[in-house]
Chain A
Amino acid sequence: MPKPQEDILISIVVASIFFILIGSFLLLVVFIFLRRQRKNKEEKEEMKNRFEQTLLKTQLEIQEQAFAYISQEIHDNIGQILSLVRLNLNTFGAVVSDEKMEQTDELLGKAIKDLRDLSHNLQNNRIYDIGIVESIRQLLLSLKKTGKYTTSFQASDHFHLLDPNTDIILYRMIQEIVNNIIKHASATNIEIEIKSEAEVTTIRISDNGIGFDTALLQRARAGIGLQNIINRAKTIEAGVDVKSEQGKGTTITLYIKPKLTSL
């Protein structure tokens, strides 16, 4: 074959390969561009999540401070005043009939006791001191004492190994759930079970109330109580699972990854 023709054929092959390379390069550019875009998006989302978490933690800290202040005020101020009123009442003597006096004294005693309980419930230090397990036990005990509810509580032994800050948030979540049961569930029985395993700690709160359609949670905006639970769960990276059947009660399960504290 003459030299010029051979050159032309080589040029054709080289040009074809060149075009194939252009195509491959285009594909590579699309791939790299997409990967970078996706990475940027993920980073943005992570930053947003971190910001939201910080915001929620700050909100909760402020709330806890407010709780501590209210608790202190109830204990040191209102509680004291009511105790003084009770003492004063006993000095009225003949002015009021004994029966009325006893009734008023009883009501005042109940108000003082309820306020003390409320004060204890709002106090963080108390949860730190006695631990979450004991706090939940007392919460259920106070419910049982009302005579409206039967309660049951089971906790595995290793549960105290959770981080103390997580304990406070968890306790507030449980309080919120129990409050929801009292307000909306028309239940007569409340059960709390804590299972602690190596991978995950599970807290199951169930009642025998009227239940509700869980699809409503996704369709409509969740109520403030449930929103608080979800927000708190986010701050401790916990999962929340709600199972409910109308007429057969509700079970809310919290899944928490345990953090070991330095002992």
Chain B
Amino acid sequence: MELTVTFGFEIISLLIALFFYIQKRNKILKYFIPFLFLTVIVEFTGWWWTVHNGPWKFAMYNIFTPVEFLFYAFLFYIHLNKPIFKKIILFFSPVFILCTVLNMLWIQGINNTFNNYIFLLGSFCVVVFCCLYFYESVLPDKIDLQLSLQPFFWICSGLLINYLGSVIINALFEYLTSNDLQSEGRRIYITINNSLNVILYSSFCIAFYLCPNHKKISSSQL
């Protein structure tokens, strides 16, 4: 079994993040590097365990999924300005962790299957956060900002398209991977998932490119 396109794009975006971090020392890049590094490790381990029938494949994905959503929540917390929106994110995080634990303990288990309920809950919240960000972007005080030049706009766009597009396939994950749909279902799941991940990581790369240079600030004005 070959490594997926997603894995390739994850590595590319990690390398781009590293490259621009060396040049710009930007905060977003600083947060993304460990996250992307972790994503690459998880993806590679997932692939390895799929090939060699590793025992903890689902458990690893089920633990990584909440970490992923909490990371995105943290990014939104930094970038949203309205206190009420920040409070919504602060409320979301413990509730999400609680739901994850409850789901692992009593509903879907930790290593039985992919915890798609948690993924759906996380996707829903990320889409809501994206809408909050876009709402803030169209407020009068932000009009002067060129949206397409804002790194977080690209991150947000990638997340919005990715999580909106993956709602159906993840909601029907078990159905798609069931025995009678084994080949076709999996193929559709992987194709849609890969395409969405290509969009997601490409937008991350654009965001990294657009990150402002923080190295220069300290030496200016004098």
List chain A positions with a Cβ less than 8 A from chain B.
Answer: 1, 5-6, 8-9, 12-13, 15-17, 19-20, 22-24, 26-27, 30-31, 33-34, 37-38, 41
| Interface contact A31-B160, CB-CB below 8 Å | no
Complex CA–CA separation, A20 to B161 (angstroms): 5
For the complex formed, measure the closest distance between the CB of A2 and the CB atoms of chain B, giving whole angstroms.
8
Nearest CB in chain B: distance from A130 CB, A: 47
Say yes or no: is B138 at the interface (Cβ < 8 Å to chain A): yes
Which A residues are in CB contact (< 8 Å) with B188?
A: 9, 12-13
B171: min CB distance to chain A, Å: 9
Whether B165 is near chain A, meaning CB under 8 Å from some CB there, is yes
* Distance A17 CA – B168 CA, assembled complex (angstroms): 10
- For A13, give the chain B residue with the smallest CB separation: B188
**Residues of chain B with a CB closer than 8 A to A1's CB:** 181, 184
Bound-state CA distance A6–B185 (Å) is 10
| Measured CA separation A227–B171 after assembly (Å) | 67
Q: Is there contact, CB below 8 Å, between B137 and A34?
A: yes
A12 touches B176 (CB 8 A): yes
Q: Interface digits, B177-203 against A, CB 8 Å rule (1 contact, 0 not)?
A: 000110011001000100010000000
**Cα A38 to Cα B137 with chains together (Å):** 12
Closest B residue to A11 by beta carbon equals B168
CB distance from B165 to the nearest CB of A (A): 4
**Chain B 124-150 interface 0/1 with A at a Cβ cutoff of 8 Å (1 = within):** 000000010010011010011001100
Also in contact, A12 and B168, with CB within 8 A (given A31-B147, A38-B143):
yes
Contacts of A19 in B (CB 8 A): 164-165, 167-168
Contact at B161–A30, with CB atoms within 8 Å? no
Question: B138 to A30, Cβ gap below 8 A?
Answer: yes
Contact B192 A30 (CB under 8 A): no
Q: Pick the contact of B160 from A9, A16, A27, A37 — CB < 8 Å? A: A27
Q: Given the complex of chains A and B, what is the CA–CA distance between A27 and B188 in angstroms?
A: 26
Residues of chain A within 8 A (CB-CB) of B137 are: 30, 34
A13–B192 touching, CB < 8 Å: yes
Q: Residue B88 at the A interface, CB < 8 A? A: no
In Å, the complex CA distance between A34 and B180 comes to 48
The B interface is mostly helix, strand or loop, or mixed, namely helix
The reply to whether B168 and A34 contact each other, CB–CB distance below 8 Å, is: no
Residue of B nearest to A10 (CB): B188
Assess the B138–A26 pair: CB atoms within 8 A: no
Chain B contacts to A: CB under 8 angstroms: 131, 134, 137-138, 140, 143-144, 147-148, 157, 160-161, 164-169, 172, 175-176, 180-181, 184-185, 188, 192, 196
CB–CB A16/B134 < 8 A: no
Contacts of B148 in A (CB 8 A): 31
Excluding A26-B134, A27-B161, A34-B137, 17 further A-B contacts by CB distance (< 8 Å) are A9-B181, A9-B188, A12-B188, A16-B168, A20-B161, A20-B196, A23-B161, A23-B164, A23-B165, A24-B161, A27-B160, A30-B138, A31-B147, A31-B148, A37-B138, A37-B143, A41-B143
B192 neighbours in A (Cβ, 8 Å)? 13, 16
Query: By the criterion CB–CB under 8 Å, are B147 and A22 in contact?
Result: no
* Option from B157, B167, B175, B176 in Cβ contact (under 8 Å) with A27: B157
Partner among B160, B168, B184 whose Cβ is within 8 Å of the Cβ of A15: B168
Return B197 CB to nearest CB of chain A, in Å: 13
CB atoms of B160 and A26 under 8 A apart: yes
- For A27, list chain B residues within 8 Å (CB): 134, 157, 160-161
B137 to chain A, nearest CB (A): 6
A9 with B164: CB separation less than 8 A: no
Q: Among A12, A24, A31, which residue has the most Cβ atoms of chain B within 10 A?
A: A12
Q: How far is the CA of A9 from the CA of B176 in the complex (A)?
A: 8
Chain A residues in 8 Å Cβ range of B169: 12, 16
Known: A12-B169, A41-B143. A33 touches B138 (CB 8 A): yes
Complex CA–CA separation, A18 to B165 (angstroms)? 8
What residues of chain A lie closer than 8 Å to B166, measured between beta carbons? 16
List the A residue with the shortest CB-CB distance to B157. A27
A225 → chain B closest CB, angstroms: 30
Question: What's the nearest-Cβ distance from chain A to residue B204, in Å?
Answer: 16
Q: How far is the CB of B208 from chain A (nearest CB, A)?
A: 19
CB of B222, distance to nearest CB on chain A (Å): 15
Q: Please indicate the chain A residues that have their CB under 8 angstroms from the CB of B160 in the complex.
A: 23, 26-27
